[in-house]
Chain A
Amino acid sequence: QQPEQPATPEATESDNGTIAEVMTGGTLGADEGSSKFNEYRDLDNGLRLFGLRYRGYTPDSGRFIEAVGTNLGLDDQSFKARAGRYGTWSAALEIDSLPHRLTNDAFSPYTDAGDGLFTVPGVVGILTTTADNVNFRASDMLENDSRIAAYLNQNLHALPQIGTDNNRMSLQLTYSPVAAIDARLTASRRTREGEKITYGPLGDRPPRTMNVELPEPIDHSETTLQFDLGYANRFFDLNLEIFAPEFSNDIDSMRWQSIYFGPDADGAADYNNDIILAGNAIVRRAVSTFGQRALPPDNRFTNTTLTFGANTALNGRFTATAAMGRLRQDETLLPYSYSTLTKDWNSTGKLPRLSAEAAIDTFLLDLQYTFAPLRGLRVRPFFRSYNLDNDTPEDQWWYVTQDAASNTTGSATFMNKRINRAYDSDRRNLGVEGTWQKKSLTLGLTIEQEAIDRGHREADTEETIIRARASYRPLQWLSLRGRAAFGQRDADGYDFRSELSSYWYTSAENGTGTNNPAFSFTNHPDMRRFDVSDRERSELDLTASATASPTLSFSATWSRRENDFDSDVTPVQPLAGTSFGAANETTLGIQLGLLSQDTSRFSFDANWNPNDRWGATAFVSLESIDLDQRGTEFSEDLRTTAQTPRIGTPGQSWVDPANLWRAGNEDETTTFGVGLNYSIIPDRLTLTADYSRSNGTVDIGYSGFGSDQPLDTIYYAFRSPETVEHVQRIANLAIEYRLPRGFVLGLRYLFDDYDVKDWMQEPQGEWVDVVSNNFVRDSTRDNRWGNRLPRLVGYLGPSYSANVGFLTLGYSW
Chain B
Amino acid sequence: TGAARAPREVDWVALNPAFKDATFVKDTSTCLGCHEDAMKKYEHTTHARTFKAAARTELDKLGCEACHGPRSKHIEEPTSDLSLDRISPDGRSQICLQCHRAGKNQMHWQASAHSGGAVSCDSCHMVMERRSDLALLKTKEQESLCYDCHADVRAQMQKSSHHPVREGKMTCSNCHNPHGSTGPTMLRRATVTETCQSCHQDKRGPFVWEHPPARDNCATCHNAHGSNNRSMLVNKAQFLCLQCHSYGGHINVPRYNRTSAPTQQGCVNCHVTPHGSNHPSGAKLTR
Residues in A neighbouring B228, C-beta threshold 8 A? 667, 669, 696-698, 724, 726
C-alpha gap A268/B81 in the complex (Å): 95
Q: Which among A297, A627, A763 has the highest number of chain B CB atoms within 10 Å?
A: A297
Determine whether A636 belongs to the interface, using a CB cutoff of 8 Å to chain B: yes
A109 to B255, CA, bound (A): 27
Q: Given A418-B283, A522-B247, A760-B230 in contact, is the A174-B202 Cβ separation under 8 Å?
A: no
CB pair B215 A237 closer than 8 Å: no
Q: Which chain A residues border B260 with CB–CB below 8 Å? A: 206, 211, 786, 789
Closest CB in chain A relative to B29 CB, distance in Å: 16
**In the complex, A740→B23 CA distance in Å?**
49
User: Within 8 Å of chain A (Cβ to Cβ): is B78?
Assistant: no
Residues of B within 8 A of A601 (CB): 152, 155
Bound complex: CA A48 to CA B216 (Å):
44
* Min distance, Cβ B4 to any Cβ of chain A, angstroms: 4
B-facing residues in A276-323 (Cβ within 8 Å): 293-294, 296-297, 299, 301, 303, 305, 307, 309, 311, 315, 317, 319, 321, 323
A147 at the interface (CB under 8 A from B): no
Enumerate chain B residues within 8 angstroms of A661, measured Cβ to Cβ. 253
Chain B interface residue count, CB cutoff 8 Å, equals 118
Contact A760 B262, CB 8 Å, known A201-B286, A718-B255, A728-B158: yes
Q: How far is the CB of B169 from chain A (nearest CB, A)?
A: 5
Q: Is there contact, CB below 8 Å, between B280 and A397?
A: yes
**A760 x B206 contact (CB < 8 A):** no
Q: Which of A231, A297, A364, A631 contacts B253 (CB 8 A)?
A: A631
Q: How far is the CB of B96 from chain A (nearest CB, A)?
A: 14
Judging by beta carbons under 8 Å apart, are B205 and A299 in contact?
yes
Q: Which of A360, A634, A698 is close to B252, meaning CB atoms less than 8 Å apart?
A: A634
For residue A531, CB closer than 8 A to chain B, the reply is yes
Query: Given the complex of chains A and B, what is the CA–CA distance between A427 and B164 in angstroms?
Result: 32
- A696 to B159: give the CA distance in the assembly, Å: 7
**B286 lies within 8 A of A232 (CB):** no
Q: Which of A231, A294, A382, A632 has the most CB of B within 10 A?
A: A294
Interface string of B81-104 (1 = CB under 8 A from A): 000000010100000000001111
Given A239-B103, A469-B117, A778-B259: A64 in contact with B49 (beta carbons within 8 A): yes
Q: Which residues of B contact A74 (CB under 8 A)?
A: none
- Please determine whether B202 and A247 come into contact, CB atoms closer than 8 angstroms: yes
CB distance from B189 to the nearest CB of A (A): 8
Contact A390 B206 (CB under 8 A): yes
Closest beta carbon of chain A to B102's beta carbon, Å: 4
Which of B53, B246, B249 counts the most A-chain CB atoms under 10 A from its CB? B246
Q: Is the CB of A234 within 8 A of B169?
A: no
Pairwise interchain contact B190-A245, C-beta atoms closer than 8 A: no
B159 interface neighbour in A36, A249, A603, A669, Cβ under 8 Å: A669
State in angstroms the CA–CA spacing of A40 and B278 once bound together.
30
Cα A238 to Cα B202 in complex, Å, equals 32
Report B119 CB to chain A, min CB distance, Å: 10
CA distance A635 to B259 in the complex (A): 19
For the complex, is A506 an interface residue (Cβ under 8 Å from B)?
no
Binary interface profile of B, 158-175, with partner A (CB < 8 Å = 1, else 0)? 111000101111000000
Q: Which positions 493-552 of chain A face chain B at CB distance < 8 Å?
A: 502, 515, 517, 522-524, 527, 529-531
A656 proximal to B (CB < 8 A)? no
**What residues of chain A lie closer than 8 Å to B273, measured between beta carbons?**
293
What separation, in Å, do the CA atoms of A633 and B182 have in the docked complex? 43
Residues of A within 8 A of B281 (CB): 336-337, 397-402
Most buried by A among B160, B217, B236, B269: B160
Interchain CB contact under 8 A, B116 and A760: no
Task: Scan residues 226-243 of chain A and give those whose CB is less than 8 A from a CB of chain B.
Answer: 228, 230-234, 237-239, 241
- The B-contacting residues of A in range 785-812, CB under 8 angstroms, are 786-789, 791
Residues on B with C-beta less than 8 A from A319 are 107-108, 110-111
Query: Once the chains bind, are A230 and B4 in contact (CB under 8 Å)?
Result: yes
Tell me if A's interface is mostly helix, strand, loop or mixed: strand
Interface size class of A (residues with CB under 8 A): 35 or more
Contact A621 B152 (CB under 8 A): yes
The 8 A CB mask of B172-206 against A (1 = contact, 0 = none) is 00000000001000000111001001100111111
* Complex CA distance for A57 and B88, rounded to whole angstroms: 36
Other-chain contact of B207, A356, A370, A433, A671 (Cβ < 8 Å): A356
Alpha-carbon gap, A462 to B229, bound state (A): 31
B50 CB within 8 Å of chain A: yes
Could you tell me the distance between the alpha carbons of A420 and B258 in the complex, rounded to whole angstroms? 27
Which chain A positions have C-beta within 8 A of B160? 36, 696, 726, 728, 754, 756
Tell me which of B164, B197, B258 contacts A786 (CB under 8 A). Answer: B258
Check B270 against A237 for contact (C-beta < 8 Å): no
Instruction: Evaluate contact between B206 and A176: CB separation under 8 angstroms.
Output: no
Using Cβ atoms and an 8 Å threshold, which residues of chain B touch A791? Answer: 263-264
Instruction: Please report which residues of chain B, range 123-178, place their CB below 8 angstroms from some CB of chain A when the two chains form the complex.
Output: 130, 133, 148, 151-152, 154-156, 158-160, 164, 166-169
CB distance from A525 to the nearest CB of B (A): 9
Q: Is the CB of B101 within 8 A of A765?
A: no
Q: In the complex, what distance in Å separates the CA atom of A86 from the CA atom of B49?
A: 6
Is there an interface contact between A86 and B50, defined as CB atoms closer than 8 Å?
yes
Question: Are the C-beta atoms of B151 and A557 separated by less than 8 Å?
Answer: yes
Q: In angstroms, how far is the closest chain A Cβ from the Cβ of B219?
A: 10
Within 8 Å of chain B (Cβ to Cβ): is A619?
yes
Q: Report the Cα distance A293→B257, complex, angstroms.
A: 23
Q: How far is the CB of B153 from chain A (nearest CB, A)?
A: 9
Q: In whole angstroms, how far apart are the Cα atoms of A36 and B220 in the complex?
A: 26
B237 within 8 Å of A by Cβ? yes
What are 16 A-B contacts defined by CB distance under 8 Å? A39-B167, A62-B49, A179-B57, A206-B286, A207-B256, A239-B102, A311-B101, A329-B206, A329-B207, A529-B243, A594-B243, A603-B155, A634-B248, A669-B228, A768-B259, A791-B263
Counting from the closest, the 8 A-B pairs by CB-CB distance are A62-B53, A636-B248, A87-B54, A621-B155, A786-B258, A207-B257, A603-B151, A296-B202
Known: A399-B281, A700-B239. 18 other contacts (CB 8 A): A98-B169, A180-B5, A182-B2, A201-B286, A311-B101, A329-B205, A329-B278, A362-B190, A390-B206, A402-B281, A457-B212, A531-B213, A694-B159, A696-B228, A760-B262, A768-B259, A776-B259, A782-B257
B interface vs A, CB < 8 Å? 1-8, 14, 44, 46, 49-50, 52-57, 60, 88, 90, 101-104, 107-108, 110-111, 116-118, 130, 133, 148, 151-152, 154-156, 158-160, 164, 166-169, 182, 189-191, 194, 197-198, 201-210, 212-213, 215-217, 220, 228-230, 235-237, 239, 242-250, 252-266, 268-270, 272-273, 277-284, 286-287
